[in-house]
Structure formats: C-alpha cells, structure tokens
Amino acid sequence: MVDFVSLLSSKLEVFKASEIRELLKLTEGKNVISLAGGMPDPQTFPKKELAEIAKEVILERGENALQYAPTAGVTEFRKELTRYLERKGVKVNREDSIIVTTGSQQALDLISRVFIDHNDVIIVELPTYLAALNAFNISKPEVVGIPIDEDGMKTDLLAKELKRIYSEGRKVKFIYTIPVAHNPAGVTMSLERKKELLELASKYDIPIIEDDPYSYFVYEDGVDTTPLKTLDREGRVVYLGTFSKILSPGLRLGWVLGNSYVIDLLERAKQSADLHTATLSQYIAMEAIRRGVVDATIEKAKQIYRVKRDVIIDALTDNMPENTWWPKPVGGLFLMVFLPSLEIDTKKMLPEAIERGVAYVPGASFFANGGGWNSMRLNFSFPPPEKLNEAIKILADLVKEKIKGPTVKITPETFYRV
C-alpha cells in the first residue's frame, strides 16, 4: 500500500478522530436516548409545503433552479433573504452585502481561512460552539476564552484580556460570539453587555463575528434579542445565520451579512471550496420565505421546544444532586450542566452513561482552555418529552453514584485563568 501516512498534511492533526465522536457513533440505532446531537425535532419539518414548492420550482423554474449559480448565491434569493432579515430586525447597512453559504458551518470555515494565520489571537466565549472551535483551529490560532454567565460573555473579563493582549503588542483578529440563545449554554447576552462588547471592540478596532442560529427560539418574555449587528454603528459586526433550525438542516443553507469588503473575501474563499451553494435549496428557501412557511415553522418549533425545555429543567431540578448548576436556557436547543464536583470527568463517565442508555456531549469539548471537564451539554430539541425525563433520571442516578465528598457549585469562571 502507498505510505499515505508519511504524505499527509500537517493540518491533519486538527482532524484527528475524536474519541467522543466515535463513542457517540456507536449509539446510533441502539436503544440509547441521545441528548448529544443538535437535531431539530422532525415534527417541525414542513414536509408537505416543501414537497409542493420543490415540485413547482423544478417544473416551472428548473432551467435556473437546476443550473449552476453565482458563488455569492442566487441574486433573487439574496434580495429576498436580506428583506427577510430586515423584517426580523437585523440592520442592513448601505455598505453591506450578503453571501449564501453551505450551512453556517461553511461560513465559520471561510472566516477561519480569511482572517486567521498561525498563532493569531481570536476570542471566543467559554464555553463556545464546538464546531466553530474546530473550524477556527484548522488555521491554528491562539484561542482565548472569556467565561459566560447568565447574561452572556463577561465583558469585565473581556476588557481585562484585551488590555493584557494589546499590552503585549499583539492584536485580536476577531471576537466570535453567539449572543442570543447560546450553544452550548442557552443563555442570552444582556443589552448592557452587548453595548459593552461593542464599545470594547470599537476601542481596539476588532471585528465581531455574530453567530445567530437560535434567536428565533427564545422562550421567555423580556429577553433582549437585538442583534449586535443592529446595535453596531461602525460596520464591524459580521452576522451569520442558518436555515437549519428554522426550515431544515438538510437544505444546507446559511448566510453571512456584513461589510461588502469582508463578503467579497468570503466569496473568493468559497469559490475554491464549492463554487456555490446548492441552487435548488436556494430556490426552495426563497419560496418558503415568500409563502410564510419559514415563519410558520419557527412558530411551531418554538412551541415544541419551549415545552421540552421546561420538561428537561423540571427533570434536572427534581433529580440532580445539590449544587449542580445550569444557567437557565432562555432559548435555543441546549443547556449546559455543571456537576457539583471537580472530581467528576464527564468524558470518562460517558461510556457508563451510554451503557445505561443515555448519551450527551462532555462539556470539555466546548472549552477552548481545557476546562469544563465536569460539565455536559444536553440537547432537548430532539428526544420526546418522556424520553427527556427518563434520560435525566438515569444521568442523575449515575452522577449521585460518582460524587464522593461534599458538593460545590462550579461555573465557567472556575476554569478561567489569566
């Protein structure tokens, strides 16, 4: 056989098979309740409406819908999408442009290629979205994590870090944040913190990458969901979104809205990645917006997820040992549970949990600084309510068995070191 191993790129170490992913793969098709993925509830998929739209689009507009498209996306769709975002309260500046991406995962990958060189500093939340970390890590940056609490990123700690980094003569390439209905933690940044974040970004002239898949799913009244993009007066926010949770992840459709200088660069990077995002998906999503299918899907999904969120919180409250902490998820599809002992390693515990019939993602995967080993991310959008209850009871029993000695409350700040 060819000696492939000696021929591989050094980048490959970033793609090394994750033990966790391998373990979770083993649960597929087994009798395991998975709180691990981030899948929408299939009940939310508007199957009939999408089937009708797809048929019409292919038969009536097939000469375009089945053809190649421009790299930035189908022009008519980009206009429709921009108008849709404006209706949702996202500010679009005169200098802005929009690019359609193959899921917002591709946007994260393109941003990584366009902005990051080896050893550049980027800032993320602690914890943050695992697949964003993976996309950024391909470019080998130094990733600095800022702890979150129930009001989102702790801007006082951000100020401290920025001061340290700039005093060392270094600069930050971007700040990546999921301000509303965070993944993995479900929290939302307060308006005050959003303003502080924008002020700090302005002071040091740093772009902000705002990832917003979940602001459509906020379950509490009075939560401020204003995008940073809307509050920004300086054109520094690059705004990412996706159709994955508001229509269907199978369409693989995301977008980036921001200053056209950045969007042009992303377009150039995308050209070599995949030429363009599937034309047919773009036509289908365009019609789904026009016919109100996207809005109806959001409404339906929001009802379903609110019920499930309440079920999982009640189950945690009733079953988990004292001092177990989870920031209340005001929106989104996930919550993060911090077990009340630093002695518990949720990665080590996972095989046992799977054995007993429950899967989750160990929290350390979401911590850029190697912390969070006693935490876990739980998804509540996919399993039916009764399974959520059952899963939490199983997990709580396991955790209680693991706790030796007194319990103590642990938060993301526990793992923060300047």
Ligand X SMILES: Cc1ncc(COP(=O)(O)O)c(C=O)c1O
- Is the CB of 213 or the CB of 340 nearer to ligand X? 213
What distance separates the 2 farthest-apart alpha carbons in the chain? 69
- What span, in angstroms and rounded, lies between the C-alpha atoms of 180 and 105? 18
Q: How far is the CB of 266 from ligand X (least distance, A)?
A: 15
Q: What is the distance between the alpha carbons of residues 324 and 375, in angstroms, rounded to a whole number?
A: 10
How many other CB atoms are found less than 10 A from the CB of residue 37?
14
Residue type, 1: M
CB of residue 217 to ligand X, shortest distance in Å: 11
CB of 338 to ligand X, least distance (A): 20
User: Which CB sits closer to ligand X, 180 or 198?
Assistant: 180
Nearest CB to ligand X, comparing residues 158 and 333: 333
Q: Which is nearer to ligand X, 213 or 329 (CB)?
A: 213
Cα–Cα dist 72/205, whole Å? 27
Taking the complex as a whole, how short is the minimal distance between the CB of residue 305 and ligand X, in angstroms? Answer: 14
**Cβ distance to ligand X smaller for residue 236 or 252:** 252
Burial class (CB in 10 A: 0-12, 13-18, 19+), 226: middle
Binding residues vs ligand X (CB under 6 A): 38, 103-105, 129, 178, 183, 211, 213, 242, 244, 249, 254
Taking CB atoms, the residue at the shortest distance from ligand X is 103
Q: In the bound complex, what is the minimum distance in angstroms from residue 163's beta carbon to ligand X?
A: 28
Rounded to a whole number of angstroms, the minimum distance from the CB of residue 11 to ligand X is 21
Task: Report in angstroms how near the CB of residue 396 gets to ligand X at its nearest.
Answer: 26
Residue 211 or 267 having the CB closest to ligand X: 211
Nearer to ligand X, 179 or 340 (CB): 179
